Amino acid sequence: MKIAMWSGPRNLSTAMMYAFAARGDCAVWDEPFYAAYLKESGSDHPLADEIIAAHESDPDKVAARCAGPVPEGKKHHYMKQMPHHMLDGFPMDWAANCTHVHLIRHPARVIASYGAKRGNATLEDLGFPQQVALFDRLGGIVIDSHDIRANPRKMLQELCAAIGLDFTGKMLEWPAGGHASDGIWARHWYGAIHASTGFAGAEGALPDLTGADAALLARAMPCYDHLRRHALLSAAPDPV
């Protein structure tokens, strides 16, 4: 099975990659199109030049690898994909043979977390409209990081059942210190997850955003609400 896990930044996406890597039967790939996105867009992300130099930046070559054999002789291939990395003109034919999962998080949490690492985010930087477009185009399963953190075992069991994969408790823990498949951007973005050995506990109240962040939240909420309506076991709302 090839799994394309679509997620904006600061969405529990790296923890989910570690969970699938911990299974033992999944090869994982950290943001395959990141270098291609940076090279094409010229976006001033932290470590942009190093990322482009260290990772494949030709989107056609990345797409060919996505469509190719599962690496390392594994049974499954888990690709941590970012919707905003898929710029116009980037190939999408590789996605036809993937099982698609859309990982979401309340925009207030995303905006607060992203702002601590990179300021002046736009709606497009956070990937909300791009993720809605991809969901409407590709379909797939939607799962909310809030629900995962509230009950990791139950939600991963439900997710595995929904995509036709056997659940294993190995998915609930991993060694501290990162994973060999981390992109070189890990040293800027992955500090907290590298200190972890499993999913963090349930989240508390939403952050209180003001000014430009509050305006950004207002624009992001319709996208989140659209996806949340389709979320797996979405009965429990994010706390307010």
| Residue located via tokens 């981390």 | 182
Q: Say if 233 falls within a structural domain.
A: no
Question: What is the tally of structural domains in the chain?
Answer: 1
Specify if 235 maps to a domain: no
CATH for 192: 3.40.50.300
Q: What is the pLDDT of residue 30?
A: 96
Instruction: Report how far residue 126's alpha carbon sits from residue 110's, in angstroms, rounded to the nearest whole number.
Output: 8
Cα–Cα distance measured from residue 116 to residue 9, given in angstroms and rounded to the nearest whole number? 12
pLDDT digits (tens, 9 = 90+) for 68-84: 999 999 999 999 999 99
Question: Would residue 141 count as lying in a domain?
Answer: yes
pLDDT in tens, the chain (240 residues): 999 999 999 899 999 999 999 999 999 999 999 999 999 999 999 999 999 999 999 999 999 999 999 999 999 999 999 999 999 999 999 999 999 999 999 999 999 988 887 778 899 999 999 999 999 999 999 999 999 999 999 999 999 999 999 999 999 999 999 898 889 988 887 888 899 999 988 888 999 999 999 999 999 999 999 999 999 975 444 544
| 219, part of any domain | yes
Residue span of the structural domain in which 217 resides: 2-228
> Do the domain assignments include residue 117?
yes
Considering the entire predicted model, what is its pTM? 0.93
pLDDT tens, position by position, 127-157: 999 999 999 999 999 999 999 999 999 999 9
Inside any domain, residue 239: no
